[in-house]
Amino acid sequence: MSRLLQDRVALVTGAASGIGRQIAERFAGEGARVTGCDRAGEAMIICDVRSPAEVDAAVAHVVATEGRLDVLVCSAGVREIGDVYELASEEWENVIAVNLSGTFYCCQAAARAMRETGGGAIVNISSVGGLIGLARRPAYTAAKHGVVGLTKSLARDLGPAGIRVNAICPGLIRTPLTEQYFAEDAFEDGLRTVVPQGRAGTAADVADVALFLASEQSAYVSGVALTVDGGWLAEKSFAANDAAAESFLGDHLVS
Ligand SMILES: NC(=O)c1ccc[n+]([C@@H]2O[C@H](COP(=O)([O-])OP(=O)(O)OC[C@H]3O[C@@H](n4cnc5c(N)ncnc54)[C@H](O)[C@@H]3O)[C@@H](O)[C@H]2O)c1
């Protein structure tokens, strides 16, 4: 059976950890020739996505060694958690620089390479925070909304060059970025009640969707922001569990 990304050349940012690492492995398993890059890490290109020059050099390296670039995944990301009254301007600027500006620099450099060879696919990792407002993460939320807007704009501008651009909006995915949340059992108990699928996502859940968006299986899909969140965003009950919801409805929605 032919593999979904056989001989496709892919570049994945943030590939040293979590979702980016899983995507790089999944793509390689589907036959892609994958280059991973990150701001640090072994066995990959060192590239800080905040620097347009470093991003250009990373893309140039892939084109020089592989002859082309077919797929870009932008997974490099950081986030702040804290009080909006106290958020330092440096932190605001860094979160915007990595998550939004960095994604733009990578898309721009990749698009310049892809248009030379007839097109490609770009997958940007946004967040459910790109679709709704997350508490205590104003910079992250603003940046991830920006990534969704950027994705839609680029889908229009790059479509004529045969380049599809899509975003994934993960919910709560267990990775080094979120591991600290799982220190308390109460957190997982809470997830079971607010996420319809009853669990946190895995990096593999996101990698499967990235594979779909990077491959010809999604040949007519561009400009979407696809949630991978176990249904969490689709369901916002007033009450945290079925029994409480039933009692609430019984009390308040008679006829
Ligand atoms: N884990 C989640 O629940 C979740 C949910 C929604 C969205 N996301 C997004 O998914 C992406 C990956 O997150 P993750 O959970 O795998 O986190 P992670 O921390 O495990 O991995 C992020 C990677 O990005 C790299 N990185 C950070 N700044 C960089 C820079 N300036 N240049 C290059 N690389 C840089 C880090 O070194 C790290 O290897 C991020 O964009 C994140 O915002 C994650």
DSSP characters over 188-200: HHHHHHHSTTSS-
**Strands 225-228, 163-170: pairing kind:** parallel
* Residue 193: pLDDT over 50: yes
Instruction: Render pLDDT for 108-152 as a digit per residue (tens, 0 to 9).
Output: 999 999 999 999 999 999 999 999 999 999 999 999 999 999 999
Burial class (CB in 10 A: 0-12, 13-18, 19+), 191: buried
Measured from the CB, is residue 20 less than 6 Å from ligand 1? yes
* Residue 248: pLDDT over 60: no
User: What is the spatial distance between Cα 144 and Cα 146, in angstroms, rounded to a whole number?
Assistant: 5
Q: In the structure, what pLDDT confidence band is assigned to residue 23 with cuts at 50, 70 and 90?
A: very high
* Residue 106: pLDDT over 60: yes
User: What is the spatial distance between Cα 200 and Cα 100, in angstroms, rounded to a whole number?
Assistant: 25
User: What is the spatial distance between Cα 135 and Cα 190, in angstroms, rounded to a whole number?
Assistant: 16
> Which is the closest atom of ligand 1 to the Cα of 140?
43
Q: Which of residues 214 and 246 earns the better pLDDT score? A: 214
Tokens 């943030």 — which residue? 14
Query: In this predicted structure, what is the pLDDT of residue 126?
Result: 98
CA of residue 177 to ligand 1 center, whole Å? 7
User: What is the spatial distance between Cα 213 and Cα 160, in angstroms, rounded to a whole number?
Assistant: 18
Measured from the CB, is residue 145 less than 6 Å from ligand 1? no
Query: In this predicted structure, what is the pLDDT of residue 246?
Result: 59
Strands (DSSP E) contained in 20-70 are 33-38, 45-46
User: What is the spatial distance between Cα 108 and Cα 102, in angstroms, rounded to a whole number?
Assistant: 10
Averaged pLDDT for residues 43-72: 97
Q: In the structure, what pLDDT confidence band is assigned to residue 254 with cuts at 50, 70 and 90?
A: very low
Query: In this predicted structure, what is the pLDDT of residue 221?
Result: 98
Name the fold adopted by 9-252.
Rossmann fold (3.40.50)
Residues of the chain above pLDDT 70, percent: 93
- CA-wise closest residue to 50 among 10, 4, 14, 88: 14
Measured from the CB, is residue 30 less than 6 Å from ligand 1? no
Check residue 241 and report its DSSP letter: S
CA of residue 127 to ligand 1 center, whole Å? 11
User: What is the spatial distance between Cα 215 and Cα 27, in angstroms, rounded to a whole number?
Assistant: 10
* Residue 242: pLDDT over 80: no
Whether 140 is catalytic is yes
What end-to-end distance do the CA atoms of the chain give, in Å?
56
Measured from the CB, is residue 201 less than 6 Å from ligand 1? no
- CA-wise closest residue to 211 among 77, 32, 63, 48: 32
Written as one letter, the residue type at 121 is A
Q: Which of residues 248 and 47 earns the better pLDDT score? A: 47
CB 166 within 8 A of CB 122: yes
* Residue 250: pLDDT over 80: no
Query: In this predicted structure, what is the pLDDT of residue 131?
Result: 98
Catalytic residue among 85, 105, 140, 220: 140
Laid out side by side, the sheet with 9-13 consists of 45-46, 33-38, 9-13, 71-74, 120-125, 163-170, 225-228
Query: In this predicted structure, what is the pLDDT of residue 2?
Result: 87
What angle do the packed helices 89-96 and 138-158 form, to 10 degrees? 30
Nearby residues of 150 by Cβ (< 8 Å), 6 or more positions away: 100, 103, 104, 107, 124
Query: In this predicted structure, what is the pLDDT of residue 236?
Result: 78
CA of residue 216 to ligand 1 center, whole Å? 26
Q: Which of residues 253 and 35 earns the better pLDDT score? A: 35
CB 207 within 8 A of CB 22: yes
Residue nearest ligand 1's atom 4 by CA: 173
Query: In this predicted structure, what is the pLDDT of residue 244?
Result: 57
Which helix (H) or strand (E) segment holds residue 125: the answer is strand 120-125
CA of residue 97 to ligand 1 center, whole Å? 13
CA of residue 247 to ligand 1 center, whole Å? 40
> Which is the closest atom of ligand 1 to the Cα of 173?
3
The preferred substitution site among 23, 35, 51, 75 for testing ligand 1, maximizing ligand atoms within 8 Å of CB, is: 75
Average pLDDT of the chain?
A: 94
Averaged pLDDT for residues 41-65: 95
